Structure 1
Amino acid sequence: MTTARTAPERRALAVEIRARGRKLEGYAATFDNPASIGGRFVETIARGAFAATIRGRGDVLALVDHDPGRVLARTRSGTLRLAEDSRGLAFDLDVPDTTHGRDVLALAERGDLGGMSFGFTAVDEHRDGDHRELRAVDLHEISVVLAWPAYDGTVIQARSLENASPFRRYAERALKLWELSR
């Protein structure tokens, strides 16, 4: 069933967090990972659900707790980068030297962040009883969640690029992907 919704929806995901600097990276959403949405239905995200947004969307924001007053990065400025891979919606963002940015990094270093979330409008979905599969979404924003997320399975890391060589950055990403695949 194809639908056109006007009201944006939000989904949050639990994450593993390691703090190492001024950059956050990880997954804002994961594919084929069932989540109970408010006890009303179970939802999964299909591979390719974010592809159209990544190819053509003018601007996606990175926020704190979906608050447009706490912007961390955006695709338009190049401070937020998004990509789909076999696991889900990967992101990489440059954390600003602002109160909100410093707060997020401090919480990441302590392991206190709750997860990641994303705000979207469903473009194509399939419903079967109490199961909903998101097949295509118009992504508006991703958010660092300070408390409790709805989805499990995402990853977020804070790291510093100032001291990392290109080889070290590649090795760290490869190690992270290997750990996630176990």
Structure 2
Amino acid sequence: MNKEKEIRTLDSQIEIRAEGDDGENQKIVGYALRFNSESDNLGGFVETIEQNALEGADMSDVRALINHDAHKVLGRNKSGTLKLEVDDFGLKYTIDPPDTTYARDLMESMKRQDISQSSFAFQIDYENEGDTWEYNEDRDLYIRTIKRFKKISDISVVTYPAYSEASSTIAVRGLEDYKSELEEQLNKSKLLIELDL
């Protein structure tokens, strides 16, 4: 099973919150992922994330970025400028952005609601049955359930959703593996039936 990094986007409102009496200290607050919520169609499959999928996940050094660009760092949990909180809804983040041109530009675009989506980069814990696949005949699509993350690499404020065919390539490979396993099981079943005859 492929262990590469995947990226997904959540179309969820991101807020800018002012803290303190002067209202000057602004934070970016949003959700990187939500539990038990079905994704858009990712090219023949949809995903849901189980409530306990983050238990045991490595979130020891997560960066907050703009569009997953390592040159545009907004915060880092190791330094205390990014706070991550797992609650009943999902993975909530609070970013204390730097006083840089790109951060100020981003916040201005967010205030205008030109940018309003969050994304996260992750790895699945395949060694501990991190995901399952199931075909839904009524809907004619596959459902992937993420049961356990291995690592969350970064969370990002993004301009475009990552729910596209290109960003789901790794998951599509997992789907192809699942289809191959089903076909192999079907062929074995056919062989056993023929041998019984």
Q: TM-score range by the shorter chain?
A: 0.7 to 0.9
2:146 is aligned, of 131, 134, 138, to 134
> Across the two proteins, how many residue pairs are aligned to each other?
146
Gaps of 5+ in 2: 19-25, 136-141, 165-197
Conserved 8 A contact 1:114-1:148: no
TM-score normalised by L of structure 2: 0.68
Conserved 8 A contact 1:79-1:93: yes
Conserved 8 A contact 2:110-2:116: no
Trace 1:134-173 onto structure 2 (pairs within 5 A). 134-137=146-149, 138-148=151-161, 150=163
2:46 is aligned, of 28, 42, 45, to 42
More strand by share: 1
Trace 1:1-182 onto structure 2 (pairs within 5 A). 5-21=2-18, 22-53=26-57, 56-123=58-125, 124-129=130-135, 130-137=142-149, 138-148=151-161, 150=163
TM-score normalised by L of structure 1: 0.74
Shift of 1:109: 0.9
2: distance between equivalents of 1:24 and 1:64?
Answer: 12
SS in 1 for 2:75: strand
1: distance between equivalents of 2:10 and 2:143?
Answer: 18
Gaps of 5+ in 1: 152-182
Q: Which residue of 2 aligns with 1:171?
A: none
2: distance between equivalents of 1:51 and 1:145?
Answer: 25
SS in 2 for 1:90: strand
Q: Which of the pair has the greater relative contact order for Cα pairs under 8 Å at 6+ separation?
A: 1
Identity score, percent: 35
SS in 2 for 1:51: coil
1: distance between equivalents of 2:111 and 2:88?
Answer: 28
Conserved 8 A contact 1:5-1:121: no
Conserved 8 A contact 1:20-1:109: no
Residues 75 and 18 of structure 1, relative CA distance in 2, 3 Å threshold: closer
Instruction: State the one-letter code of the partner of 1:103.
Output: D
Conserved 8 A contact 1:12-1:149: yes
Q: CA RMSD in A?
A: 1.9
2: distance between equivalents of 1:91 and 1:78?
Answer: 12
Shift of 1:7: 1.0
Shift of 1:127: 1.2
> Could you list the per-position Cα deviations for residues 144-168 of structure 1 after superposition, in whole angstroms to 9, with x for gaps in the alignment?
01123539xxxxxxxxxxxxxxxxx
